[in-house]
Structure 1
Amino acid sequence: MTLDNAVHWKLSGFGDEIDPDPHVQGAVLLALGAHHIEVRSAWGINVVDLDDDATARLKSTLDALGLAVSAVASPIGKVDVSLPPRHEVERLTRVIRVAATLGAPYIRIFSFFRQPEQSAADIREAVIERMALLAATAEEAGVVLLHENEKGIYGDTPERVLDIVESVGSPALRLAWDSANFVQVGVRPFTEAYAMLRPHIEYLQVKDAVASTGDVVPAGEGDGEVLETLAALRDDGYTGFASLEPHLARAFELGGFSGPEAFGDAGRAFRHLTDSIGVKLV
């Protein structure tokens, strides 16, 4: 396949991996050829804490830069499952308001942590109850939730990710695919997860990891079977977002950071892979 008849994917990226300032975030993404941004925080404020004035200011900033918002990367579900079921519903309601102002069609979520003495089976019923409530809230608001396979949550293995999305059974709950996170829990992403989860994959988060250490590296430099996954998505007709989340400098509870230079390196590494398989990033 040549670039003349290439499949087109929409390039995006986690702006706060670049810099706390949305102006700097936007400048780097535009330099990488992106026309979208994924919003996790702005000016150091997480999306769940952005008030209406700050959200409107962010919207004006992004509009002036010519950037649309691909998704709001919320921390919803990145809490212990012992909290009351309505706890995250209330926080999601706030994030939905942010997403509406920013014009974002997607909100990223997670499927809850558990205590060290608890097994995944111990919390399954509570997780499904809470995920169903979140999906119902999103469906009513006309937004789609993207479950990310974060390590340590209930849905960190392919089988449990599938359990969540099939048990909830809502069109408002789809999957964000993260190869690095699968590597970090001992899963070979393409070999062991892709075919199982492909019917539910709506969004691509771009990062890779080394199996022996768990270290996050640019796409194609680790054990995340990224090139195989990208080629399969191309062949399966995927035409959605590809969002850079490099985590190359450090990772922490609510996200990660790369800085402008490392983020640029990650973007160029990803574009090299997509160019090699005839996918054009726009």
Structure 2
Amino acid sequence: MKNRRALSMMALAVVFGLAAVALASRWLLRQTPASSNKIVVAATDVNLGQRLTTEMLKQIDWPAESLPRGALRDGSKLVGRVLKTSVLRDEPLSEAKLAPAGTLGGLSALIAEGKRAITVRVNDVVGVAGFALPGNFVDIIVNTQSNDRAISKIVLERILVLAVAQEVGRDETKPRVVNAVTLEVTPEQAENLDLARSVGTLSLVLRNQVDPRPGITDGATKGTLLGAHEAAATPAVPAAEPTPAPPRVRAQLAAAAPPARSCIGVIAGARRTQECL
């Protein structure tokens, strides 16, 4: 009797336990869709300009409360799209990081709408010792002759560096000395830059990434560069005063001079004469 009662209590406990597990599982399944969502992220590190493939994409659960702005959910629609910025593994993808649909891969995918890409030849000095890397902004100075005088003037400001040599990656911070830099410019800026490199020599000036203020200058000439220094270094020359002659020379000059003569006028009738003694 006692064994039967113990077995019935145990069976009842098992039934209640299974019911509790079933209810808890059902509750958790109902809560999961409300608290997380699947979004598309990069399955591996992908550089800008690359075309996305299926192997580069995956879906992961992401908390609904902190979904990234513009996060994408359907990875199948992203196959074949081109990145215009580098992404890291497990980084969410969005339209802001993708070139327009139909864009071919490579440098052309990085050029903003209405802009152009132009390449200028540089050396280790002109290229800011290799610190002008893709993604940086530079100003461009031209040194030329104007009205028979040398002048250096900033002709273009806040120009985006698209590539150095044949590299467009923006993840490196180590300087690279190259012989060419590709810049993103407007059509008008492209014309000015082409004219500037034909009339003088170009230099790149690396600028702060977040500083939008223009550098308004009149340009530097030899006069403005050295004018104040030359004025201070060259004293005014006083007017030369006549040097008095020595006493002996003055005496000789006085002796050589003819003696002074006194003259009187004589009137004789209608004639008038002058006699000197």
Give the alignment's TM-score, normalised by structure 2: 0.21
Greater gyration radius: 2
**Which structure exhibits the higher relative contact order, with contacts defined as CA atoms closer than 8 Å and separated by 6 or more residues?**
1
Give the alignment's TM-score, normalised by structure 1: 0.21
Greater helix proportion: 1
